[in-house]
A and B are shown apart, each in its own frame.
Chain A
Amino acid sequence: EAEVAQSPRYKITEKSQAVAFWCDPISGHATLYWYRQILGQGPELLVQFQDESVVDDSQLPKDRFSAERLKGVDSTLKIQPAELGDSAMYLCASGTSVNEQFFGPGTRLTVL
């Protein structure tokens, strides 16, 4: 069964450092989502791609976060510089529509 892949699974970094997360969606899925899930809360959408284009990045803190999906396949989410409040689970999902999203295992980020 096809799955969304994410790496790394865990990342520990110091504040002010740069971090990057990678997501490989299920083959054929044009839509890709990055969510942030703070401990004890539900996921919140950071950015949505349709193929290589950003559809919605209204909740992405653009002063420090960036996301790209070159060639419309895999995607990278970057934080520079990381802050203590960025500690969270970062989830990637892919799908054919908003009603059909498949989630990856996530990257747990800890900022010290």
Chain B
Amino acid sequence: AQSVTQPDIHITVSEGASLELRCNYSYGATPYLFWYVQSPGQGLQLLLKYFSGDTLVQGIKGFEAEFKRSQSSFNLRKPSVHWSDAAEYFCAEVSSYKLIFGSGTRLLVRP
């Protein structure tokens, strides 16, 4: 069965520091990949998506992600984290016409 793995349950970074959230997908063919952000008690907001083409994808709020087929990874990055980035982040891929989500990574930001 297809699955999306986010190995880090929690990550804590200092405000202004760089961030990388890890995601591994399992679907073998060219994947359709997404990153969503969820603030406490809220729905999901799309940060960025990858379907094909340039493997470095730019998203909203200064986020970017890089698709690496050799590593089956789609890691999310941000060069300088702001306190408002504290939230839960979900990686997802399309499989059998469904969105399959990872279990999420909770980002905590130290002042």
Interface residues of chain A, those whose CB is within 8 Å of chain B, are 4, 6, 40-45, 48, 56, 91, 93, 98-99, 101-106, 108
Closest B residue by C-beta to A44: B101
Number of interface residues of B (CB under 8 A): 21
B residues 5-56 with Cβ under 8 Å of A?
A: 32, 36, 41-46, 49, 51
Closest 6 CB pairs of A and B: A42-B101, A103-B43, A103-B44, A105-B43, A106-B43, A42-B90
Contact A91 B43 (CB under 8 A): yes
Closest B residue by C-beta to A92: B43
**A108 with B32: in contact, given A45-B98, A98-B99 (CB under 8 Å)?**
no
Q: Is B103 part of the contact surface with A, judged by Cβ < 8 Å? A: yes
